[in-house]
């Protein structure tokens, strides 16, 4: 999906590739890698789509079309 979006000049990115329980700021919780395997797997797959105040309707349509095409 990400490759398809990027090939169509649509910026997308995985913003949080590390699950919260493994981030330094939450180390006091004493969780370790493997404690939440589903969260760890999904954190590497969830990506952000373009979203900003000046996003034009035509770009929204382009993103939706690209997502639909990639899903087929």
Domain of 23, CATH number, reads 3.90.1150.10
Backbone angles phi, psi at 23, to 5 degrees: -80, 145
Q: What is the pLDDT of residues 19-64, one digit of tens each?
A: 999 999 999 999 999 999 999 999 988 999 999 999 999 999 999 9
Q: In the chain, what is the greatest distance between 2 CA atoms, to the nearest angstrom?
A: 47
Q: How many independent structural domains does the chain possess?
A: 1
Q: Is 48 helix (H, G, I), strand (E, B) or coil?
A: strand
The pLDDT assigned to 70 comes to 85
**CA-angle at 42, arms to 40 and 43, nearest 5°:** 65
Enclosing domain of residue 36? 2-71
The pLDDT assigned to 71 comes to 81
Backbone angles phi, psi at 48, to 5 degrees: -105, 140
Q: What is the pLDDT of residues 5-30, one digit of tens each?
A: 999 999 998 988 899 999 999 999 99
Quick check: pTM over 0.85?
no
- From the list 21, 23, 2, the residue with the least C-alpha distance to 13 is 2
């Amino acid at each position: 999906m990400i490759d398809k979006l990027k090939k169509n000049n649509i910026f997308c990115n995985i913003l949080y590739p590390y699950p919260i329980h493994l981030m330094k700021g939450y180390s006091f919780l004493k969780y370790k890698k493997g404690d939440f395997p589903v969260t760890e797997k999904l954190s590497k797959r969830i990506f952000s789509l373009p979203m900003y105040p000046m996003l034009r309707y035509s770009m929204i349509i382009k993103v939706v079309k690209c997502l639909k095409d990639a899903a087929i």
